[in-house]
Every structure is written in structure tokens, then in C-alpha cells.
């Protein structure tokens, strides 16, 4: 895939690297690497260890089984300032329908801006625009007071210069609550592939399992998660959420690479939440070394029934 793209335009290859902050060798195993970029600020601040406790709009990204696990409908807007000046925008909606069941919708757009392109001889071919868009349609259903299942359907559209590709992929998930402890699992990006020119590459299919322990006094929690990608990459993640008061929450997380190539979201993450019912503001920051740092903010509004 990379060799074909290089012969046509070196800027396309550069874009593949910018999507994740990984080296080109890592991008060569799968397409759709932008699907690994965190979208939801709370989950990002906790190092991605949200699979067991994701609810409302957070369930659209970390576990569709949690989409309906909020009493009120939730509308959210997210903005991310990434490395190299990339920006990610997102709008999400989660609608509970009773008994911990619910529907959700999200649209995520990643714009790469205009990048100078050159042919194989080094001649300028003008600027190239590029973007990635993901739509998410999710549904969760509670089988009992403790167990919920969920599924998300995700049409994907990617544009790189004069080339474009699209596909549809799926997420499935489960969550089980046992009072102070919950467990969860998500299998993300099942099926689908993106094809450029004549090269067909699979998406980064990911299995996530996790648990969360909630302190009955104060509402704080400790979350853990393990992930395994079809590229062979494995990670462990952990996060602590400390409820300082009714209106302020502090978060810290860490994502540790066990096997594979280090990504931009690995390492330490920090964040906080401000609760001004019915508004909630969540912020996260992840240092990314020489790339600077990534900032992410989510503003959510809980709609009364």
C-alpha cells in the first residue's frame, strides 16, 4: 500500500503518519488509524480505561452497552487540538428509553488541512486536502438490572487528495454491574476495510476488557483496562477519578504499551470535570513529547425528560 501511494504522491504517505503519531511501519499493518484517536475527554483523561464504566455519549466510543445507562438524554460537543495542528471535532447524542436501554448517534470529523504535494520526481503538484469522517449509530439493551449489551454501526469516509475510500464497521459490547464493581468488554471495528487504488487494508480491530471499582463514599472510582489489536499491539491502562465536590472532579490516567509500537495516546493523561447541572465541562491533556501536547474539551448538556 505505501509503495503505491508513494509513487503517486508523497504527501499521502505523510498524512498516514500524522493520523496517529506512530512511525510509518506501524501504519502499514492496518488502515483507518484515525479510529485510535480518543474522542471523549473523560475517557482520554482516564487513559482510555472506560470500558466498564462508559455511559451516555461515552458509550458510543468506549462501550455501546453503556449508551442507555444515564437517566437523562445527553448532548455533547467535543473539540481536540492534536499534534501538527490537526483538529478533531465531534457531536454526540445519547437517548435513554428506559430500563438502561438507549439509542445514540455521533459524528466525528478529522481535518488535516492543506498539505503541499510532490510527485516521484520532486515536482510540486499543489496542495492536497484530506479528511476522515466517522458516523456512529448505537443501541444498548439491558437484559437485566445487572447486564447490558450494545452494538454500534459506524460508516467511515476518508478522503486523501484525489483518492477516497469508505466502509462500514461494527462495535459490540457488554457491561455487568455488581454494586461497587462493574466489568465490561468491547470488540471494536469489526469487519470493513479501506481501499486506496488497488490496496485493501483492514481496520484496527480492537478487543478491550476492563473493570471499575467505585468508592461508595464520595463517588470516586478506580478503572483498569487491557486492549489487544489485530496488529499485535497490546496495552494496559488505568485511571483514577476523584470527586472533590459536587461540582468538581479530578482525573489522572496512564496507558502502558506492552507490545507493539508506541502511540501518541500512550503515557500519562490528566483532566478535570466541572459539573454545572445541566451543563458538564470535561477537559483532558496528554503530553506527547516532541509533538507537544494534545488538548481535548467536551461540553455536554443533559436534557430533562
- Residue 149 clears pLDDT 80, i.e. is over it: yes
- 3-class DSSP state of 134: strand
Whether the pTM exceeds 0.85: the reply is no
Q: In terms of C-beta density within 10 A (0-12 exposed, 13-18 middle, 19 or more buried), how is residue 111 classed?
A: middle
Question: Each residue of 113-140: pLDDT tens digit?
Answer: 666 666 667 676 667 778 889 999 999 9
| 121 vs 146: CA distance, rounded Å | 62
pLDDT band at 264 (very low <50, low <70, confident <90, very high): low
Q: Which pLDDT belongs to residue 249?
A: 96
**Alpha helices by DSSP H, 9-143:** 10-18, 24-27, 41-45, 59-62
Tell me the average pLDDT across 30-53: 88
State which residues form the domain around 10.
2-303
- Residue 100 clears pLDDT 80, i.e. is over it: no
Whether the CB-CB separation of 136 and 124 falls below 8 Å is answered with no
Q: Which pLDDT belongs to residue 15?
A: 39
Q: Give the residue from 156, 163, 168, 167 showing the smallest Cα distance to 197.
A: 163
Structural domain total, the chain:
1
Average pLDDT over the chain, rounded to an integer = 83
Question: Each residue of 178-199: pLDDT tens digit?
Answer: 989 999 999 999 988 887 666 7
Q: Give the residue from 282, 286, 237 showing the smallest Cα distance to 264.
A: 286
- Residue 222 clears pLDDT 60, i.e. is over it: yes
CATH number of the domain encompassing residue 56: 2.40.160.60
Amino acid at each position: 500500500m505505501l509503495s503505491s501511494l508513494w509513487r503517486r504522491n508523497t504527501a499521502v504517505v505523510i498524512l498516514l503518519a500524522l493520523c496517529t503519531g506512530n512511525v510509518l511501519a506501524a501504519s502499514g499493518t492496518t488502515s483507518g488509524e484515525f479510529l485510535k484517536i480518543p474522542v471523549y475527554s473523560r475517557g482520554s483523561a482516564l487513559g482510555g480505561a472506560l470500558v466498564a464504566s462508559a455511559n451516555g455519549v461515552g458509550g458510543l466510543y468506549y462501550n455501546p452497552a453503556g449508551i442507555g445507562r444515564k437517566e437523562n438524554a445527553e448532548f455533547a460537543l467535543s473539540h481536540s487540538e492534536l499534534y501538527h495542528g490537526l483538529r478533531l471535532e465531534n457531536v454526540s447524542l445519547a437517548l435513554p428509553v428506559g430500563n438502561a436501554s438507549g439509542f445514540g448517534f455521533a459524528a466525528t470529523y478529522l481535518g488535516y488541512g492543506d498539505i503541499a504535494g510532490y510527485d516521484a520526481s520532486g515536482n510540486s503538484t499543489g496542495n492536497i486536502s484530506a479528511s476522515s469522517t466517522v458516523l456512529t449509530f448505537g443501541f444498548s439493551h439491558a437484559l437485566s438490572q445487572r447486564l447490558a449489551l450494545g452494538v454500534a454501526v459506524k460508516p467511515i469516509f476518508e478522503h486523501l487528495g484525489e483518492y477516497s475510500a469508505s466502509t462500514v464497521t461494527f462495535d459490540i459490547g457488554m457491561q455487568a454491574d455488581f454494586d461497587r464493581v462493574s466489568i465490561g468488554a468491547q470488540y471494536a471495528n469489526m469487519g470493513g476495510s479501506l481501499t486506496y487504488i488497488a490496496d485493501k487494508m483492514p481496520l484496527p480491530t480492537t478487543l478491550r476488557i476492563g473493570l471499575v471499582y467505585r468508592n461508595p463514599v464520595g463517588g470516586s472510582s478506580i478503572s483498569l483496562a487491557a486492549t489487544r489489536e489485530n496488529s499485535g499491539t497490546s496495552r494496559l491502562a488505568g485511571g483514577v477519578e476523584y470527586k472533590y465536590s459536587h461540582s468538581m472532579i479530578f482525573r489522572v490516567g496512564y496507558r502502558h504499551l506492552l507490545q507493539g509500537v508506541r502511540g501518541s495516546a500512550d503515557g500519562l493523561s490528566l483532566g478535570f470535570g466541572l459539573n454545572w447541572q445541566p451543563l458538564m465541562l470535561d477537559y483532558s491533556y496528554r503530553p506527547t513529547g516532541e509533538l507537544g501536547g494534545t488538548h481535548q474539551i467536551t461540553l455536554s448538556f443533559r436534557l430533562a425528560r
